[in-house]
Amino acid sequence: MDVFEAIRKRREITHYLDKSIPDEDLERILDSAYLAPSGNNLPSREFILVTKRESLQHLAQSTPFVPWLAKAAAAIVVTGRPEESKYWLQDASIACGFIWLSAVELGLGAAFGAIYHAEDANESAQREGYVRETLTIPNDRRVVAILGLGYLEKEPAAKQLLPKESLIHYEQFQEK
């Protein structure tokens, strides 16, 4: 599969088979995260692989929007380091995309669970604190997201996207 096919096939997968992911596949996904670009090549993001069922079930309670983590075969928690780079959020977000596309390449499903909440500091502190305490993450890291991984229970239908021309502009922004 090439990257364009992986992009086309990517879906939010929240229903997984009860099947473990081989360690070598998890390492390939982690390598993709590690190789994702970061501003000025600074160590602005870090990754925590979680495969223990009890930890996944506990993390599924970090927000009301990630109950599917309880059934995932694995998860990767993506953290950002604001003291290392002002681009910590962008760098962590790019790495999330690399993780997701690598999972698709390997025949896995992935889902993105936002933990960091840019517009609600209290909500963000609550979510991040829950994950931070569970995984003993130092206070100088921000918990950006948790990506759940697993084999697809079923292939979801394609999403209906907005028309391409409503989102893409050429040369300059044009009101549509």
**DSSP secondary structure string for all residues of 63-94:** STT-GGGGG-SEEEEEEE-TTT-TTHHHHHHH
Query: Homologous superfamily of 3-166 in CATH?
Result: NADH Oxidase (3.40.109.10)
Answer whether residue 7 shows pLDDT above 90.
no
Report the share of the chain in percent with pLDDT over 70.
100
Answer whether residue 176 shows pLDDT above 80.
no
Query: Given CA atoms 78, 82, 84, 89 in this order, what sign does their dihedral have?
Result: positive
Most confident of 3-12, 95-104, 156-165: 95-104
Answer whether residue 167 shows pLDDT above 80.
yes
The residue ranges of every structural domain in the chain are 3-166
d(CA 108, CA 101) in angstroms, rounded, equals 9
Answer whether residue 5 shows pLDDT above 90.
no
Amino acid 159: pLDDT: 81
Encode pLDDT of 54-99 as tens digits.
Answer: 999 999 999 999 999 999 999 999 999 999 999 999 999 999 999 9
Select from 137, 132, 96, 136 the least CA-distant residue to 113.
96
Mean pLDDT of the chain: 95
Amino acid 150: pLDDT: 98
Residue ranges with strand state E in 6-131: 45-50, 74-80, 109-114
Answer whether residue 173 shows pLDDT above 90.
yes
Interhelix angle 23-35/88-105, rounded to 10 degrees, is: 140
Amino acid 90: pLDDT: 97
Lowest-pLDDT choice from 82-96, 112-126, 147-161: 147-161
Amino acid 154: pLDDT: 86
Residue of higher predicted confidence among 47 and 176: 47
Per-residue b or e along 147-171, where b marks 16 or more CB atoms closer than 10 Å to that residue's CB: bbbbbeeeeeeeeeeeeeeeeeeee
